[in-house]
Amino acid sequence: MRILSGIQPSGALHLGNYFGMMKPSIELQEQGEAFYFIADYHSMTSLFDAEQRRRNTHEVALDFLACGLDPKRAVFFRQSDVPEVCELTWILGTLTPMGLLERCHSFKDKAARGIPVNSGLFTYPVLMAADILIYDSNVVPVGQDQKQHVEVTRDIAIKFNQAYGDTFVIPEPRIRGDVAKVPGIDGEKMSKSYGNTIEIFGSEKTLRKKVMSIKMDSRPPEEPKPDADQNLAVQLLRVINPEAGATFEEQLRTGGLGYGDLKKRLFEAYWEYFAKAREKRAELEANPDYVNQVLADGAAKARTKARDVLQRARKACGLE
């Protein structure tokens, strides 16, 4: 089984990234042949600072390795180090119906929010399809919001296979339903685009302030709160520490728990959860040559596979 997933270097990675994509991917590296990449091509639809992209890419590499990605078990690389994916994107795009892309939630949601959109954002699912198909991926661990893009990939692959003969493996999404959607501090899905994130790494003071800024209603501590399951702090605590989340939810329901105490416990659980990862990240940050070598070695392995699949697709559609 080959597993494929990628993550954008468009900003600091956050709890939504970790629980929605990184943690499931790290767990899956024990179950098959894992290909994980830093999606720097994808970041170009929203990030237009070249130096920032370079810094972010390095930061993502540090974060993923610190959180448990093992380069001995997983192929870890920069997307742009495998340029074959761009040629495959064009090949797939010639068979992708406009209507299929127009129905994609990611594009529609960003446009509705007034976020500037471009053709790259519109055709993002085609590049994602190329990312998946070029490695003969069987399983794609994604959050619920990305499930549609895997379905689009399947549609594109099936359409190509029907037109030119069996060429691509048809992938399956793998979703962690219990943590697929992590709420941000404003109640919306946690996303860098929305500015509502809690980062995995950062200064204790800054992150504590962010957690304590989560908005609550004005009900006093002694008042029972029957809608405790809808409380943002409880929802986040359930993701990080389900047992503690359930306990504090019950205390809110019965009354006697203040929101300030709840948010303090949320921060403590979050800070404790990533304690070992922070130590590992500090070690990696002091050894950039090792990190760069991991990415170079991963790219060499990934590109070998990508060339084979691209050549297969070129022959199938008459380019060779």
Of the residues 23, 72, 108, 110, only one is catalytic, namely 110
Dig out the tokens for 72 from the structure.
């001995």
What DSSP assignment string belongs to the chain?
Answer: -EEEEEE--SS--BHHHIIIIIHHHHHHTTTSEEEEEE-HHHHTTT---HHHHHHHHHHHHHHHHHTT--TTTEEEEEGGG-THHHHHHHHHHTT--HHHHHT-HHHHHHHHTT----HHHHTHHHHHHHHHHTTT-SEEEE-GGGHHHHHHHHHHHHHHHHHH-S-S---EEEE-TTTSS-B-TTSSBP-GGGT---BSSS-HHHHHHHHHT----S--TTS--TTGGG-HHHHHHHHH-HHHHHHHHHHHHHS---HHHHHHHHHHHHHHHTHHHHHHHHHHHT-HHHHHHHHHHHHHHHHHHHHHHHHHHHHHTT--
Measured CA to CA, the distance from residue 83 to residue 306 in angstroms comes to: 9
Question: Residue type at 282?
Answer: A
Of the residues 23, 72, 147, 192, only one is catalytic, namely 192
Of the residues 159, 189, 225, 264, only one is catalytic, namely 189
Residue 295 near residue 78 (C-beta atoms within 8 A) = yes
Residue 118 near residue 96 (C-beta atoms within 8 A) = no
Partners of residue 251 on adjacent β-strands: none
> Does the annotation count 210 as an active-site position?
no
> Does the annotation count 205 as an active-site position?
no
> Does the annotation count 189 as an active-site position?
yes
Active-site amino acid positions: 110, 189, 192
